[in-house]
């Protein structure tokens, strides 16, 4: 006689699965909550309460119910081992060929009582013995498994009916797939418990938990496959990403949206950014969202071609018209537009801009970030504290020159510093003298002087009286001299170089106020 053990917290689809198992002549064993649920929906079907198998009542508020020799033995013994078969008969261990189990909802409600013990024990036993036992942990697999079982049952020949276990007649590859899924499920579950209990940023051993959200169009290149995962209980706006029109997301599209969110999440004011290859080519603030986006595009319209637009406020019709006008006047194509939300009028207009332009929303941008983030390496990763010091660093700023920045300059310097914090290092930003927008960005350079040259060249005449920000210190005075030659009116940089005196001297000679942040803002 073959048994199926059903013990689930999430009851989705369990009744239909039980009906299929009953038709296939499985005896169904179930625990209290699952038993009551099935009994109320399966009239006339014999269900076996778990205590009839274990010989013990469910005890200690349900902490003990499935853990027993009879249950684990019935799952684990090897159906192909004659000694095991003999022992199973002697000990009257039931032949449990199917285990259906999902766990207490720790992710939704982290608590000691929601740490499942019996469930993981059954799952691990069934997954280890996958050659003989089919393990199901995901309700989304029920229909697929039901079809598989029915097909295998109908196709069994007279010879295969002699097989001692029904599960042995199943496809080994299919069993193995479900077992692997079960082990990943346990690892995902346990990793959350470990984080909840320890609260340590850098434990000796760690598992990164991720749940697959969607398959991507491709990875960095069309020949690379990719999928998108999110951590449990994340506050990331990417968990709410929703497409309305145009292209499906690739890795580069998604990482560009992510970079855009990072670039503008520090601002309460309406702000917009155009991203290319994970770096901004234009960032701006405005009194209105359309004004901010117009400035972000204007900062570098050439680079904006084929870019990704990300904004921090709901996308309205006026803002959509900025994108429409960019296409009409400059023949400027945008690959992706992403916003917290998009109203219907704006959406209908954007659909007319470009057939393949992806239009996405991602909900509210939360200012808080996780305590740690990770960087991929070959064969591993690095965990690091998140940089939450950007605004706090303003308190450590020091004016190091004879000339002090004006109130207006100081405001622009703070904006420029925020802009620089999520642009690829080495990074130099030139901000307009009057407007809160970039005029030049030197990014991803191995030479800081070269980053200055690129930013100033891009800014062109807008460099005059503009603000220059550097995400780290100037190793020599050549950067300050070059900035002065282009007419920069104020500089904000990290400082703390052995050649600081030379840079301060050059700034004083040019009459440029300069601030040291005493804080580096690398981003790679």
Q: Is residue 334 part of a domain?
A: yes
Q: Count how many domains the chain has.
A: 3
Same domain flag for 328 and 404: no
Contact 382, 375 (CB under 8 A): yes
Q: Is residue 374 part of a domain?
A: no
Name the residue among 182, 232, 191, 186 with its Cα closest to residue 212: 232
Same domain flag for 23 and 118: yes
Same domain flag for 346 and 405: no
Position 23 scores a pLDDT of: 93
State mean pLDDT over 238-251. Answer: 96
CA dist 378 to 105, 211, 328, 524, Å? 34, 22, 45, 16
Name the residue among 364, 338, 334, 368 with its Cα closest to residue 352: 334
Same domain flag for 348 and 429: no
The residues annotated as belonging to the active site are 128, 277
Same domain flag for 494 and 409: yes
> How does pLDDT run across 412-425, given as a tens digit for each residue?
999 999 999 999 99
Cis peptide before 426 (omega within 30 of 0): yes
Q: Is residue 386 part of a domain?
A: no
Contact 196, 110 (CB under 8 A): yes
Q: Is residue 202 part of a domain?
A: no
Position 53 scores a pLDDT of: 93
Position 519 scores a pLDDT of: 93
CA dist 53 to 28, 59, 61, 92, 137, Å? 11, 15, 19, 10, 22
In degrees and rounded to multiples of 5, residue 174 shows phi and psi of: -65, -45
Position 163 scores a pLDDT of: 39
Burial class (CB in 10 A: 0-12, 13-18, 19+), 229: exposed
Position 63 scores a pLDDT of: 87
Kindly indicate the confidence band of residue 154, based on its pLDDT and cuts at 50, 70 and 90. Answer: confident
Least trusted range by pLDDT, from 87-91, 371-375, 382-386 = 371-375
Mean pLDDT taken over the chain: 92
Q: What is the DSSP letter of 163?
A: S
Q: Is residue 223 part of a domain?
A: no
CA dist 405 to 67, 414, 483, 504, Å? 71, 12, 16, 14
Same domain flag for 339 and 255: yes
Task: Select from 197, 213, 246 the last residue of a domain.
Answer: 197
Give residue 458's domain range: 397-516
Look up residue 42 and give its two tokens: 């399966």
- pLDDT tops 70 at residue 160: no
Task: Select from 197, 225, 256 the last residue of a domain.
Answer: 197
Position 156 scores a pLDDT of: 58
Look up residue 87 and give its two tokens: 């022992």
State mean pLDDT over 126-136. Answer: 96
Same domain flag for 337 and 472: no
Position 103 scores a pLDDT of: 92
CATH number of the structural domain spanning residue 295: 3.40.140.20
Same domain flag for 249 and 178: no
Position 322 scores a pLDDT of: 97
Position 289 scores a pLDDT of: 98
State mean pLDDT over 487-491. Answer: 98
Kindly indicate the confidence band of residue 153, based on its pLDDT and cuts at 50, 70 and 90. Answer: confident
Name the residue among 42, 36, 76, 43 with its Cα closest to residue 58: 36
CA–chain centroid gap for 361, Å, is: 15
Give 266's contacts (C-beta < 8 A, 6+ positions apart): 367, 390, 391, 418, 421
In degrees and rounded to multiples of 5, residue 388 shows phi and psi of: -105, 20
Kindly indicate the confidence band of residue 433, based on its pLDDT and cuts at 50, 70 and 90. Answer: very high
- pLDDT tops 80 at residue 170: no
- pLDDT tops 90 at residue 366: no
In angstroms, the CA 240 to CA 249 distance is 14
> How does pLDDT run across 28-44, given as a tens digit for each residue?
999 989 999 999 999 88
Residue with the two structure tokens 């960005």: 441
DSSP 277-340: TTEEEEEEE-SSHHHHHHHHHHT-HHHHTTEEEEESS-B-HHHHHHHHHHHHHH---EEEEEES
Query: Residue 40 belongs to what H/E stretch?
Result: helix 32-41
Look up residue 175 and give its two tokens: 């069993």
Contact 319, 349 (CB under 8 A): no
Burial 340-375 (b: 16+ CB within 10 A, else e): bebeeebbeebeebbeebbbbbbeebeeeeeeeeee
Same domain flag for 66 and 192: yes
Residue with the two structure tokens 């100037």: 474
Kindly indicate the confidence band of residue 47, based on its pLDDT and cuts at 50, 70 and 90. Answer: very high
% the chain with pLDDT above 90: 80
Model pTM score = 0.88
Same domain flag for 169 and 243: no
CATH number of the structural domain spanning residue 163: 3.40.50.1380
Position 171 scores a pLDDT of: 66
Q: Is residue 269 part of a domain?
A: yes
In angstroms, the CA 211 to CA 506 distance is 54
Task: Select from 136, 165, 197 the last residue of a domain.
Answer: 197
The partner residues of 6 in beta bridges, in order of sequence, read 30, 100
Q: What is the DSSP letter of 353?
A: T
Kindly indicate the confidence band of residue 155, based on its pLDDT and cuts at 50, 70 and 90. Answer: low
State mean pLDDT over 186-206. Answer: 90
Share of the chain residues as helix, strand and coil, in percent rounded to the nearest 5:
40, 20, 40
Could you write out the three-class secondary structure of 181-202? HHHHHHHHHHHHHHHHHHCCCC
381: left (phi over 0), alpha (psi -120 to 50) or beta: beta
Same domain flag for 351 and 438: no
- pLDDT tops 50 at residue 513: yes
- pLDDT tops 70 at residue 217: yes
Q: Is residue 410 part of a domain?
A: yes
Kindly indicate the confidence band of residue 313, based on its pLDDT and cuts at 50, 70 and 90. Answer: very high
- pLDDT tops 70 at residue 166: no
Query: Residue 98 belongs to what H/E stretch?
Result: strand 95-102
Same domain flag for 245 and 329: yes
Q: Is residue 11 part of a domain?
A: yes
% the chain with pLDDT above 70: 96
State mean pLDDT over 5-15. Answer: 95
Counting runs of H as helices and runs of E as strands, what totals does the chain give?
17, 21
Kindly indicate the confidence band of residue 158, based on its pLDDT and cuts at 50, 70 and 90. Answer: very low
- pLDDT tops 90 at residue 233: no
């Amino acid at each position: 006689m073959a048994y199926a053990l059903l013990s689930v917290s999430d009851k989705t689809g369990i009744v239909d699965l039980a009906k299929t198992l009953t038709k296939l002549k499985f005896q169904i064993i179930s625990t209290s909550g699952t038993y009551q649920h099935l009994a109320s929906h399966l009239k006339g079907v014999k269900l076996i309460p778990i205590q009839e198998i274990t010989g013990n009542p469910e005890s200690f508020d349900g902490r003990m119910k499935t853990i027993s020799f009879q249950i684990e033995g019935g799952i684990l013994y090897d159906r192909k081992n004659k000694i095991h078969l003999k022992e199973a008969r002697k000990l009257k261990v039931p032949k449990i060929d199917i285990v259906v189990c999902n766990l207490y909802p720790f992710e939704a409600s982290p608590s000691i009582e929601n740490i499942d013990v019996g469930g993981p024990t059954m799952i691990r036993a069934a997954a280890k013995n996958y050659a003989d036992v089919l393990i199901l942990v995901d309700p989304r697999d029920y229909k697929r498994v039901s079809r598989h079982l029915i097909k295998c049952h109908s196709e069994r020949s007279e010879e295969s009916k002699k097989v001692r276990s029904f599960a042995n007649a199943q496809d080994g590859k299919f069993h193995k797939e479900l077992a692997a899924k079960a082990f990943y499920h346990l690892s995902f579950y346990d990793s959350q418990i470990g984080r909840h209990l320890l609260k340590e940023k850098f434990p000796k051993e760690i598992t990164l938990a991720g749940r697959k959200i969607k398959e991507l169009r491709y990875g960095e290149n069309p020949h690379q496959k990719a999928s998108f995962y999110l951590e449990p209980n994340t506050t990331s706006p990417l968990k709410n990403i929703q497409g309305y029109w145009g292209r499906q997301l690739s890795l580069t599209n998604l990482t560009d949206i992510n970079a855009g969110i990072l670039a503008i999440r520090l601002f309460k004011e309406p702000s917009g950014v155009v991203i290319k290859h994970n770096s901004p080519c234009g960032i701006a603030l405005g009194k209105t969202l359309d004004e901010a986006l117009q400035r972000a595009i204007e900062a570098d319209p050439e680079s904006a071609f084929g870019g990704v637009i990300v904004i921090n406020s709901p996308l309205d019709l006026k803002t959509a018209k900025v994108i429409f006008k960019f296409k009409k006047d400059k023949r400027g194509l945008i690959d992706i537009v992403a916003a917290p939300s998009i109203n219907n009028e704006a959406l209908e207009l954007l659909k007319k801009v470009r057939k393949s332009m992806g239009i996405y929303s991602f909900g509210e941008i939360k200012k808080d970030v996780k305590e740690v983030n990770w960087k991929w390496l070959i064969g591993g990763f690095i965990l690091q504290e998140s940089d939450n010091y950007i605004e706090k660093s303003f308190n450590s700023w020091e004016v190091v020159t004879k000339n002090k920045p004006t109130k207006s300059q100081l405001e622009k310097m703070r904006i420029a510093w925020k802009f620089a914090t999520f642009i690829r290092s080495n990074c130099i930003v030139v901000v307009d003298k009057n407007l809160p927008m970039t005029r030049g960005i030197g990014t991803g350079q191995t030479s800081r002087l070269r980053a200055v040259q690129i930013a100033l060249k891009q800014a062109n005449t807008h460099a005059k009286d503009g603000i220059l920000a550097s995400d780290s210190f100037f190793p020599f005075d050549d950067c300050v001299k070059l900035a002065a030659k282009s007419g920069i009116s104020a500089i904000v940089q990290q400082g703390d170089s052995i050649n600081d005196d030379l840079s301060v001297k050059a700034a004083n000679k040019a009459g440029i106020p300069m601030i040291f942040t005493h804080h580096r803002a690398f981003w790679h």
